[in-house]
Structure 1
């Protein structure tokens, strides 16, 4: 591997790839520098051109808009690099927040670097970090996971990979999957403290803080709405389950449920958590307790 050294602001014949942060909710999230960069770029490459066009119109930006997303990156990426090699500047944006995080922008950045094109960040709002700092959980170490896989087995494998980390864990999740994701976390990580953060920087911004079981109970009464950031405490937190492996195997069903009741969980939530541990339906555990 050849070392790569970038001097971002030295004059050069090639163009530049600017990674421009856009609002995550409130339009005032955008920075003056971001607006200036979008106005001065030769092209704005967007994940969703319809969404970005609304932003450009609001700030009276007339820069040419092109599409770059997961489904056209193989063709669009090399073409954008070719234009930058000819001296044009490209401002890459995602639908919200920092590009190249949980989107194909990272691949365009890598391709540009491979071709000797400067990659310059224009920092701004980021949902995961915003959720972290308002969560009340430790911020000295954190690990970004992003969206969990769709496949149930892959979800379990991913949670196995991170369950021993001492760092606070950051996830993204859609509203129709957030409850299932929390249930999977309870089974693999234990009943840790968590913050469910949604609608960041918008009018209905909300943070629900508590243990995983408490947040699951809350969602039963208040159905999930909007995109979520899940902030989960690390393996050494006060609510994190410290036991390794299937620690409950020597416990009778009633003792297993009582373990969670001693941690101030309701009877209902204790049964739900014990059923998750045992990987059986709640109804089956109810029957065993009769």
Structure 2
């Protein structure tokens, strides 16, 4: 695989097509022949020295790139990118020359690289953090450097922009005054079922991410958890030419997924529970013996170890005072039931 350093060395050749004239070193990154509007754009954007900048990138339509993103790409001292190849491709499509040093910054190395990047921030460098699509830290790298910057007392700011979560929420037709974002659904069936059970009484609109190879199974589990009539929207290819929003009750959307499997990563928006649904889903107080019976059934149904099933049941059914039952007592009751 080509390293970030090698990509930096190839940058002049890769990006030269986007340049309209030779660069004048005295113009602080602005082409000598660049239009006045572009120069005005750059002068209107402040480049904060000694700062970490999180910048949102387009989620599908390159036209959604903000003027601030363009200027930061051109003038940041260091650009920490989730995928350096995709960064250079975005720069090419935007007609942007990335002047700063580009480094790979992804899930597998972000903790190790955070302090090194922040050392540069302490010397006055502007470090731009970008992910492949959307805002860093939202299901993407970035959280480690933000936390370390806060711990070290270094400034962090954002250049906001496209958001699949907010786009899907706005297009869903479901209430937007209160919502919760739950990230990707768990990959494994048993974990996904358990996770959805914890959301049965959620009154807010719920937003998930899902992938095409898991969407059919996830829709089955959503149907089992919330029933066929809970309203939802399945949003795919957001901002692209083939953007599609499927709206309707869960039962209908599940059938549409079977009949016409959607492609591309998607956002699922689920309507919140009604007052009656929330009340029915409220945790009830069970005795230790009842919890033991429920744990045995859960273990058989979901293929769990009995200790894992006990942990789930205890968490789902707090005692009257809000505390959790003693797992050892529940386990002892299980052994007694099994004889």
Q: Same fold (TM over 0.5)?
A: yes
Q: Which residue of 2 aligns with 1:258?
A: none
Alpha-carbon contact 2:201-2:281 (below 8 Å) kept: no
Q: Which residue of 1 aligns with 2:212?
A: 175
Instruction: Measure how far apart 1:242 and its partner are.
Output: 6.8
Q: Which residue of 1 aligns with 2:202?
A: 165
Cα separation, 2, equivalents of 1:11 and 1:223: 45
Q: Which residue of 2 aligns with 1:209?
A: 247
Cα separation, 1, equivalents of 2:177 and 2:89: 37
Cα separation, 1, equivalents of 2:117 and 2:54: 13
Cα separation, 1, equivalents of 2:46 and 2:173: 42
Q: Which residue of 2 aligns with 1:42?
A: 77
Q: Which residue of 2 aligns with 1:31?
A: 66
Alpha-carbon contact 1:235-1:242 (below 8 Å) kept: no
CA gap of 1:31–1:10, structure 2 versus 1, over 3 A, is closer
CA gap of 1:30–1:74, structure 2 versus 1, over 3 A, is same
Alpha-carbon contact 1:197-1:207 (below 8 Å) kept: yes
Q: What is the alpha-carbon root mean square deviation over aligned residues? A: 2.4
Instruction: Render the CA deviation track for 1:165-218: whole Å, top value 9, x for unaligned.
Output: 111000001111111111111112222111000000000000000111101111
- What is the DSSP-based 3-state SS (H/G/I as helix, E as strand, rest coil) of the residue aligned with 1:194? strand
Which one of the candidate residues 93, 98, 114 is aligned to 2:151?
114
Instruction: Measure how far apart 1:69 and its partner are.
Output: 0.6
Cα separation, 1, equivalents of 2:167 and 2:275: 20
Which one of the candidate residues 226, 238, 244 is aligned to 1:189?
226
- What is the DSSP-based 3-state SS (H/G/I as helix, E as strand, rest coil) of the residue aligned with 1:66? strand
Q: Which residue of 1 aligns with 2:17?
A: none
Alpha-carbon contact 1:21-1:125 (below 8 Å) kept: yes
Structure with bigger helix share is: 2
Task: Calculate the TM-score normalised by the size of structure 1.
Answer: 0.76
Unaligned stretches of 5+ in structure 1? Answer: 1-8, 246-278, 281-290
Instruction: Measure how far apart 1:10 and its partner are.
Output: 11
Task: Give the total of aligned pairs.
Answer: 237
Q: Which residue of 1 aligns with 2:238?
A: 200
CA gap of 1:202–1:242, structure 2 versus 1, over 3 A, is farther
Instruction: Render the CA deviation track for 1:36-60: whole Å, top value 9, x for unaligned.
Output: 1221210111111111110112222
Alpha-carbon contact 2:53-2:157 (below 8 Å) kept: yes
Unaligned stretches of 5+ in structure 2? Answer: 1-44, 283-300, 303-339
Cα separation, 1, equivalents of 2:184 and 2:193: 13
Cα separation, 2, equivalents of 1:81 and 1:209: 45
- What is the DSSP-based 3-state SS (H/G/I as helix, E as strand, rest coil) of the residue aligned with 2:97? coil
Cα separation, 1, equivalents of 2:77 and 2:174: 42
Q: Which has the higher contact order (CA 8 A, sep 6+)?
A: 1
Q: Which residue of 2 aligns with 1:55?
A: 90
Cα separation, 1, equivalents of 2:264 and 2:107: 22
Task: Calculate the TM-score normalised by the size of structure 2.
Answer: 0.65
Q: Which residue of 2 aligns with 1:21?
A: 56
Q: Which residue of 1 aligns with 2:327?
A: none
CA gap of 1:96–1:237, structure 2 versus 1, over 3 A, is farther
Instruction: Render the CA deviation track for 1:43-99: whole Å, top value 9, x for unaligned.
Output: 111111111110112222223221111111232112111111221111111111111
Which one of the candidate residues 103, 123, 147 is aligned to 1:86?
123
